[in-house]
Structure 1
Amino acid sequence: MSTESLHIVCIYPDLLSTYGDRGNALILARRAMQRGVPVEVSEIRSDQPMPTSADIYLLGGGEDGPQALGAQRLLADGGLHRAVAQGSVVFAVCAGYQLLGTSFFAKGTKCAGLELLDLYSDRGPTRAVGELAGDIDPRLGLPPLSGFENHGGRTHLGPSVSPLARISTGVGNDGVYEGAWRGKLLGTYAHGPALARNPALADLLLRWALGVNQLPPLDDTWADRLRSERKAAIAAGRP
């Protein structure tokens, strides 16, 4: 395995980090280091400039006020847009996922998004809370998605973006599809944290960042056990 270093950036953890989403950085770093890839993880607060040369950028969930403030500061900074233009990977969860689109609602007000993905978000009739599962787009070659959702939004995809998964349990975007992806940008409503429950998804992000088609396998016994437990709970009606 190449020893090329990997730089992972957690975006605005002071604003966007609910339901353990900062754990996604730990998962990525651990899985890279287990394969001999040196890793640097940076947490960039909302009062700091965004570096533009990192390999993977992570956006987590957050409440309405911090989400709106995060969008304003990312738009003013422009660093994430420059990183995406240079080919960096972005993985976004819940509020962070909504930020990638053209607009979202916070405290009843329509807010401008980052316009990095062809989607927009509004408010749904009910809050989506509970297990989230579905079959991931077969082009990504991943096992089914497993996660936890807690959001009031609904997300609508445009023609230039693809849904991450088709829903089997939960609400996701709209009760039919969940998440979105295009190129090296991927968003989801799944907490958990998402990459702890979906190690194959973590490896996909690493492969994108490292520019490789395969990675040496790792022992995912604990993740597989958790996924099996959650699948059994859903089947038994205890999501």
Structure 2
Amino acid sequence: MTATSIERPFTVVSLLPHLLDTNGDAGNARVLAQRARWAGRAAQVVDVSTRADLPEHVDAVSIGSGTDAALLPARDALRTLVEELRIWSNSGVPILAVGTGWELLSWGIDLADGAVIEGLGLVAGHAVPRVSRATDDIIVSSKYGRLIGFENHARDYVGAEASPLGRVVYGTGNGDAPASGPQIEGLTMGEVFCTHLHGPVLARNPGLADYLLEAAFRRSGLSYSRGAMATSVDDTAQTVRNQVAVRLGQSAE
């Protein structure tokens, strides 16, 4: 533990929130910052649209989802930050990417009209069109606990079979179950986490938020402990998850 790591605020970068916040996913950055404050750290969210917006130090990164109309401008903006994204991912900075934000980090996006948008190539796999849009609640079994959210995507994701976020209990996730294994959701690569879950996912699943915070604190030589103020919020999130699970024919936790 160093004096510098204690004095400087815990900094969460929210990438392109003006383009990638269709489902409220930019709120994931605020969740991380607030839970860091409840754990006793000063914290801030820095909205980054260009390199000029980058803070001196980055503890965690949040990338939300956008419309297809925003795919090209968002991709072009992210390209100017690709070196930073590569450094963050290689050095253990937790990165959460949701929906099209995730797709833009991939090898690329196949569109329904046959066009292909080249991605940044930072995570394995690519997005391919679905016959019908996936719009429903989703339940995922993962090592970070049971995750519950809402999925709203027109594309499946292929090529992430080796490192999924979890196994689909209810919903679509990355696509139909392969013949050789379970239906999966999301992708993980080191401390990079990609998912279709909206909600925002960290507000509805604080266990995943705490895992990201543990990784970020550990990287700074600090120990993370959930703050007392988080208890009532987490109880509310648990109640909501249980209500959704029971409605979908699953047991409460």
TM-score, normalisation: structure 1: 0.88
Which structure 2 residue ranges, 5 or more long, are not aligned? Answer: 177-182
Which structure 1 residue ranges, 5 or more long, are not aligned? Answer: none
Matching residue of 1:117: 123
Tell me if 1:25 matches 2:26.
no
Give, in whole Å, the separation in 2 of the partners of 1:133 and 1:198.
Answer: 11
Change (3 A) 1:112 1:52: farther
Q: What is the aligned counterpart of 2:187 among 167, 180, 199?
A: 180
CA displacement at 1:82 relative to structure 2: 3.1
Amino acid at match of 1:91: L
Change (3 A) 1:121 1:96: same
Which whole-Å deviations, capped at 9, do the CAs of 1:183-223 have from their partners, x for residues lacking one? 01000000011011100000011111111675236412111
Which whole-Å deviations, capped at 9, do the CAs of 1:45-66 have from their partners, x for residues lacking one? 2585545731111111101121
Query: Quick check: 2:49–2:77 contact (8 Å CA) kept in 1?
Result: no
Give, in whole Å, the separation in 2 of the partners of 1:209 and 1:3.
Answer: 13
**SS class of match (1:80):** helix
Give, in whole Å, the separation in 2 of the partners of 1:91 and 1:177.
Answer: 17
Query: Quick check: 2:108–2:118 contact (8 Å CA) kept in 1?
Result: yes
Matching residue of 1:226: 240
Query: Quick check: 2:160–2:186 contact (8 Å CA) kept in 1?
Result: no
Tell me if 1:149 matches 2:156.
no
Give, in whole Å, the separation in 1 of the partners of 2:69 and 2:184.
Answer: 26
Alignment RMSD, CA only? 2.3
Give, in whole Å, the separation in 1 of the partners of 2:242 and 2:136.
Answer: 16
Matching residue of 2:209: 202
Matches of residues 1-239 of structure 1 in structure 2 within 5 Å? Answer: 3=6, 5-45=9-49, 48-51=52-55, 53-78=57-82, 79-106=84-111, 108=113, 109-136=115-142, 138=143, 142-158=144-160, 161-175=162-176, 176-211=183-218, 215-216=225-226, 218-219=230-231, 220-235=234-249
Give, in whole Å, the separation in 2 of the partners of 1:97 and 1:198.
Answer: 18
Across the two proteins, how many residue pairs are aligned to each other? Answer: 231
CA displacement at 1:69 relative to structure 2: 1.6
Which one has a bigger Cα radius of gyration? 2
CA displacement at 1:113 relative to structure 2: 1.1
CA displacement at 1:85 relative to structure 2: 3.3
Query: Quick check: 1:64–1:107 contact (8 Å CA) kept in 2?
Result: no
Change (3 A) 1:192 1:52: same
Query: Quick check: 1:134–1:145 contact (8 Å CA) kept in 2?
Result: yes
Q: Is 178-187 or 62-71 further displaced after alignment?
A: 62-71
TM-score, normalisation: structure 2: 0.83
Query: Quick check: 1:15–1:46 contact (8 Å CA) kept in 2?
Result: no
